[in-house]
Amino acid sequence: MHPDAELMLADFLKQLTVEVRASEHTVKSYRRDIQHLSRYCKDKAISQWADLKLTDIRAHIAGRHRKGLSSKSLQRELSAIRSFYNYLLKQGQASVNPAQHIQAPKQARKLPKTLDVDQLSGLLDAGTSSLLEIRDLAMFELFYSSGLRLSELSALDLTDLDLPDSTLTVRLGKGGKSRILPVGGKAVTAIENWLQQRAVKIPAAEPALFVSAHGIRLGQRNIELRLKRWCIKKGIAEHIHPHMLRHSFASHLLESSQDLRAVQELLGHSNISTTQIYTHLDFQHLAEIYDKAHPRAKKKPL
């Protein structure tokens, strides 16, 4: 590109550092992303930033997509290009922002990984041998029983539970929404066992339902580590993270009830399209049954 164009890029990156006070990582990312666009310009014999059109940005992004870049990476590159052109507009070096209305290709939505009923039983029926494991079992049972998010479980207080009614209240779910959830019998028993131990060991003034050995609320990272430790100690080879229990709750409930709206309410999804991903899991389950059971489903051997 023309030396003036390269100077404009250098000035933009300097402005990010000095005026915007962007992190070093952000500045490096912006430089790298816009340098990819600069190479496109060189290939197309475009010497000035102002000469790029919407079709050029679209062709550039399409080319990056063909090279295997993810939707997330392409969104980041477009964001860098938009920011650069907004700077050029302010400096009077461009008349339009050619990247303004271009969207990155949508990434295929990954299906959440779930556990089957037997795997859940192996996880939750492994038994306890210490105070902390009694607490951990109560957490994991509640995860699977009520389909909680990790943040929701960590934020639970004693006052959020109504064990005689077998319910709990999520006060601040995603988007600040509250909801009342049922608590299954196994989870109620596990929680009652934990509360008996908690009453002896933890000061009455502490409101958190699940607390550490030091008597403070158990954070999200610690809950993840406790689940990992539980799996190792119980000889469970598969890597299981807390949200797999929430995903399994949703998948198993949908398999049994076929009531998508009910599952949406229990999960606290504001949009049913978010819940619909579990219908794909359900279909996979049905497809597997079909392949195993239908006399004409399997292909003949060659």
Catalytic residues: 149, 174, 243, 246, 269, 278
Q: Is-contact 236 250, C-beta < 8 A?
A: no
Rg (CA), the chain: 27
Q: Which of 202, 213, 221, 233 is nearest to 153 (CA)?
A: 221
Task: Give the DSSP H/E element, type plus range, for residue 250.
Answer: helix 242-257
Specify the DSSP class assigned to residue 297.
T
Name residues whose C-beta falls within 8 Å of residue 244's C-beta, 6 or more positions apart in sequence. Answer: 112, 113, 114, 115
**% helix / strand / coil in the chain, to the nearest 5?**
65, 5, 35
Q: Is-contact 49 5, C-beta < 8 A?
A: yes
CA distances from 278 to 184, 267, 268, 269 (A): 21, 11, 14, 12
- Phi and psi based region of residue 294 (left: phi greater than 0; alpha: psi -120 to 50; beta: remaining): beta
Q: What is the residue whose two structure tokens read 């064990």?
A: 163
Q: Which of 140, 102, 146, 96 is nearest to 121 (CA)?
A: 140
Q: What is the residue whose two structure tokens read 């029983």?
A: 145
